[in-house]
Amino acid sequence: MEEKQSLISPPVPLAQLGEDQNLKPRMETRGLSVYYGKKMGVGSVTMPIYTNQVTALIGPSGCGKTTFLRALNRMHDLTPIARVEGEAILDGQNIYTPGVDPVEIRRKIGMVFQKPNPFPTLSIYDNVVAGLKLLGVGKKSVLDEAAERSLRQSALWDEVKDRLRAPGMSLSGGQQQRLCIARALAVQPEVLLMDEPTSALDPISTQAIEDLMTTLKKHVTIVIVTHNMQQAARVSDFTGYFLTGELVEFGPTNTLFTAPKDPRTEAYITGRFG
Amino acid sequence: MATVRTQSRPSTSPLYRAFGDRLFAGLVLLLCLLIIGIVLLIGWQLGWNGARAFEVFGIVGFLSSTAWNPVTDVYGAWPFILGTLITSLLALALAFFPALAVAIFATEYAPRWLGNVLSYALELLASLPSVIYGLWGLSVLVPALRGVQQSLFLWASDHAQWLLPVLGNPIGIGLSAAVMVLAVMVIPYTASLAKDSIALVPAVQREAAYGLGATKWEVIRMAVVPYARGGILAGVILGLTRALGETMAVVLVIGNNKNLPFTLFGPATTIPSAIVNEFGEAQGLQLSSLLALGFILFLISGVLNLLAAWIVKRMSVDGRL
């Protein structure tokens, strides 16, 4: 799975994939539903998220893919009217079990947002180590090391190593987004959730972030929501297709794009709908 | 119609071509010029009428002299400048953290209805006439303060003699009473602006911090307050200008003593309280000196406001408050 996948590579059966790669799910949802008040945002989604793979969530606007993503690190706790039912299991534990601290969960499951959102008053360096400082890490050598590691992982190091003290906002949009990725990586999360991370970026920055994902997945499990089917096809190993809050189809990206089982998936990926 | 013609570029911008638009633009311009004109006129009037004091004592002499004696007709501004700056800055320092706490509580912690009640209460406090604060200070705060001051004074006379000259006479009325009344008056201004500014922090900033595993307090410290710092500072500045010019509330509780050195408990004075106390009977050089004091206050407020505007601009994120 090292080289990039494309639409024309032959489909690989899931069973075979699992055997070859020793695929283990890092996370798993069981009947996960999200309600806004009485309205259902996502209905009973059951899907695995495999370790060190990129899982893409695609579907038309308002289909619930972002809502589902945000349920994976308990971001809905911040919305008073949102309610989550079902289970989301990380390392064998349901993160919605009463008594589980959402703060702990979010430290294990990092997030990158649609719009780059570095802390505007902090320098590049301070943005990257912000999460570590929250954890109480104060030793400069540890912080320096983590900053360099995360900036290298997010392919930003060479561009910023001479101006780590410059404000985070002085970077371009694409660099800011990679800074946000570095910030999320600095605390060494197990899973990285990306909510349309390239939708606010130009094509070159998009390319940089897509390239990044294929190398990043060696370190971290990635879930990406994208509007862009080509992007899902380019970067992901598994794809879930959402429609009106329901997971219509889930499978290896090759299979889903070349031989979709569900006619609704086929309609979407062939561009007849959405 | 002369004002209409002063509107620039009527030929380049189609927006101004219609007669109604040109008339409106001219009217707005006229009103703007009027405001600027009033400010300049006040400054000029104060400066012109206070000029004699500067002439007689010299600019530096008037500013630095500590004498103020209508009998010998000798006047100096230093005690009043000092009193104004000390009371205002101490009040601001005292008000800052309570105001920020109120703003954070109202926006981040309080349920919506309580937040609304708090906002309303703040507006009410801000619009209360200052003489009411003064009366409250005189009838409630000063007696209470007197007790505290006296016990502190007794303790100091037993254990820390060197503190006594700093503390001064524990009579309740004085510098500390004025500072406290001013602080209470400043809080609604500062809190109100800080609250609005905190409410404008984008959700993505909060989520960025939450996504890193921040607790609510850490989100506030890391994402919310730094982002809102421009607006918070603007509130502080607004409070400062209010404190600098505050007259009635201060006059009632400060004790109006122009003899230096000022002490923490003892009576002091400010520029506005000097003017309100002496203006009625003043004439000649004394009147001129009082107007010169007014001119100095005008300049202090103006300079601090400009400085503040510059700081707020430097500190604001994305050029907004």
Higher pLDDT, residue A80 or A232: A232
In a domain, A7, yes or no: no
pLDDT digits (tens, 9 = 90+) for A209-224: 888 888 888 888 999 9
Please tell me if residue B206 touches chain A, with a CB cutoff of 8 Å.
Answer: yes
Distance, CA of B198 to CA of B177 (rounded, Å): 31
Q: What pLDDT does residue B31 have?
A: 95
Number of domains making up chain A: 1
Q: What pLDDT does residue A272 have?
A: 67
- Which residues from chain A sit within 8 angstroms of residue B207, using beta carbons? 75, 78, 111, 113, 117
What is the CATH number for A30? 3.40.50.300
Q: What pLDDT does residue A4 have?
A: 47
pLDDT digits (tens, 9 = 90+) for A249-271: 898 988 888 888 888 888 888 87
B212/A131 CB distance under 8 A? yes
Please tell me what DSSP assigns to residue A196: S
B212/A73 CB distance under 8 A? no
Q: How far is A10 from chain B, CA to nearest CA, in Å? A: 37
For B230, the closest chain A residue by CA position comes to: A121
Higher pLDDT, residue A147 or B263: A147
Q: Does domain B78-278+309-315 have CATH number 3.80.30.20?
A: no
Distance, CA of A195 to CA of A172 (rounded, Å): 19
**Residue spans per domain, chain B:** 78-278+309-315
User: Would you say residue A11 has pLDDT above 50?
Assistant: no
The edge-to-edge listing of strands for the beta sheet with A246-252 is A109-112, A191-195, A221-225, A54-58, A238-243, A246-252
Q: How far is A110 from chain B, CA to nearest CA, in Å? A: 6
Q: How far is B279 from chain A, CA to nearest CA, in Å? A: 49
Residues 166-205 of A with CB under 8 A from B: 169, 180, 183-184, 187
In a domain, A32, yes or no: yes
Neighbour-count burial of A167, counting CB atoms closer than 10 A to its CB (0-12 exposed, 13-18 middle, 19+ buried)? middle
In a domain, A194, yes or no: yes
Please tell me what DSSP assigns to residue B282: -
Q: How far is B229 from chain A, CA to nearest CA, in Å? A: 9
Contact B216, B122 (CB under 8 A): no
**Helix, strand, coil percentages, rounded to 5, for chain A:** 40, 25, 35
The edge-to-edge listing of strands for the beta sheet with A82-90 is A39-50, A25-36, A82-90, A93-94
Lowest average pLDDT, out of A2-16, A51-65, A231-245, goes to: A2-16
Q: How far is B3 from chain A, CA to nearest CA, in Å? A: 44
- Which residues from chain B sit within 8 angstroms of residue A187, using beta carbons? 212-213
In a domain, A229, yes or no: yes
Distance, CA of A88 to CA of A75 (rounded, Å): 13
B211/A187 CB distance under 8 A? no
In a domain, A224, yes or no: yes
A119/B223 CB distance under 8 A? yes
What ipTM does the predicted assembly reach? Answer: 0.80
A183/B210 CB distance under 8 A? no
In a domain, A220, yes or no: yes
**Could you say which of A104, A119, A183 has the minimum Cβ distance to residue B226?**
A119
Region A57-63: mean pLDDT is 87
B222/A134 CB distance under 8 A? yes
Distance, CA of A120 to CA of B229 (rounded, Å): 11
Please tell me if residue B318 touches chain A, with a CB cutoff of 8 Å.
Answer: yes
Domain, as residue range, for A40: 14-116+189-269
Distance, CA of A245 to CA of B264 (rounded, Å): 67
- Which residues from chain B sit within 8 angstroms of residue A169, using beta carbons? 317
Q: How far is A170 from chain B, CA to nearest CA, in Å? A: 11
**Regions of chain B where pLDDT drops below 70:** 1-17, 318-321
pLDDT digits (tens, 9 = 90+) for A68-89: 999 888 888 888 888 888 888 8
Higher pLDDT, residue B57 or A1: B57
- Structure token digits, residue B256: 């109006």
Q: What pLDDT does residue B97 have?
A: 93
B212/A130 CB distance under 8 A? yes
A119/B208 CB distance under 8 A? yes
Please tell me if residue A107 touches chain B, with a CB cutoff of 8 Å.
Answer: yes
Mutate to test the interface with B, among A113, A137, A191, A193 (most CBs of B within 10 A): A113
Distance, CA of A99 to CA of A231 (rounded, Å): 38
pLDDT digits (tens, 9 = 90+) for A94-103: 888 888 888 8
- Which residues from chain B sit within 8 angstroms of residue A120, using beta carbons? 205, 226-227, 317-318
User: How would DSSP label each residue in B96-142?
Assistant: HHHHHHHHHIIIIIS-HHHHHHHHHHHHHHHHS-HHHHHHHIIIIIH
Residues 38-77 of A with CB under 8 A from B: 73, 75
How far does CA A184 lie from the centroid of its chain? 11
In a domain, A4, yes or no: no
In a domain, A204, yes or no: yes
